[in-house]
Every structure is written in C-alpha cells, then in structure tokens.
Amino acid sequence: MVGRSLPRHGACGTCRTCRHVRCDRRRARYRWPAYVPNPPMPDSTYADRLMADPTRSEQIVHGSVSLNRTFDIAPGVVFAAFATPDLRSAWFRIPGTTERLLDFRVGGGETVIASSDVSGRVELVEYHSRFVEIEPGRRVVHQYESAVDGRRHAIALVTVELAERGTGTMLTYTDQHVLYVHAGGADRRTTVAHHEGAIRLQLNGLAATLRTLSPEPPDLVGS
C-alpha cells in the first residue's frame, strides 16, 4: 500500500516468499558475491585456459596470409591435386612422414604423422584437419591443427579458391591462423616467418606437381 514501509530484507522469511520489490533488490545486490564467493567456472577452451594461466610460458600470435598463384592448367586439375590422395601426398609433404590418411569429404579430414629432424633433432610432428566446405573445381575450406612433440604449434582456417584465367587457373590461398610461441623455442618473428615460409613451399610443391599432369581434369567421381 502507498505510504506503508516495506519489510527489511528477510523479515518475512525468504526473498522468494515475500516478493517485495525492495527485498528482491537487496537479494540481487547482496547475494552476489557475498553468498557465493567462488562461483564454479564453466568449461573453457584450451585458448581460454592458456590466456588465464599466468604460469604458462606460451604466447599466441594471430595472423593471416593470402597468396595468389597462376597455373597454366584447368581448375579441375588443380582441384584434383587437393582431392586425390596420391597427388596430394606428392606436394603436401612433411619430412619423415610415417602415417597419412586423407578422407576428402565435408566432415572428413586429413591426418599426417611424421618423425622429422629438420630442426636438427628428431621431433614428432602431427597434423590433423577437417574439411568444412568442398565445391568441386572452385573452393576447398578446411581447418587444421598442428603439434610438435605434443605441444600445439598452430591452429588455422584455410580457404582455397580456384578461378578460371583464360585456359589456366588463378589460385587464392588464405590462411587465418593462431600460432603458439613456446619458451625456449623460436621467437615470435621467427615463428611467423617459418609458418609463412612453409605455406610458400607447399604452393611451390603444388606448382611442380601440376607441371607433371595432363591439362585435362581427371574423373573424380567416387573419390
């Protein structure tokens, strides 16, 4: 009623019972964080935990690389170099590869395991990807994660676009990435340079493989 004072917080038992406006406001004001000083945290991602934990020695670097290449060969042939296991393995190579699996379909992926000594010591290199979009002859979108000796090295989203240029193909390769810089390893600049250099080497390998192929696209039905 107008002019009548409202009861104090909790005066009529509990806030849920009294339902008075002032009581509810006080409950909202004082219950948090007084009654729950350490609320449970929701499940977090690896990146969330990494950034929240000051004891970790990793740093993360965000970036993007976009490169164009022109090939004197039809888009269907270039697409086949991504879709066919034998052609894919001819240019997408990790030194010391011991295991390789390509499941080229949306929802499928690629796994490459290698024991590499490129850095001067033997390292276990792992690459796992998942195909998000495949449009034959035009586009391939996939996300991947790589690790070295069990430590995450990179996470990226890659878009490969193919467009006709006369009788040839214009390829646009875009890599949007998160790189992990570990203590005791390469610094930020070296890590970024190594990542971009690896992409350029892959595309050079793709160009070399395409030069050995017929200009006519192969039949990929059922692949």
Domain ranges for the chain, please list them: 57-210
Helix 188-210 with 75-83: angle, nearest 10 deg: 120
pLDDT, position 119? 63
The CA-based diameter of the chain, rounded to the nearest angstrom, is 92
57-210: CATH topology is Alpha-D-Glucose-1,6-Bisphosphate; Chain A, domain 4 (3.30.530)
pLDDT, position 121? 76
Residue 113 pairs with which residues in a beta bridge?
A: 99, 126
Q: How far is Cα 2 from Cα 172, in angstroms, rounded to an integer?
A: 72
Contact 220, 80 (CB under 8 A): yes
Helices within 84-147 (DSSP H only): 85-91
pLDDT, position 8? 53
pLDDT, position 123? 85
For the entire predicted model, the pTM comes to 0.68
pLDDT, position 76? 94
Positions of the chain with pLDDT under 70: 1-57, 118-119, 183-186, 214-223
Q: Write the CA distances from 86 to 34, 67, 155, integer angstroms.
A: 64, 24, 25
Tokens of residue 217, six digits: 């696209």
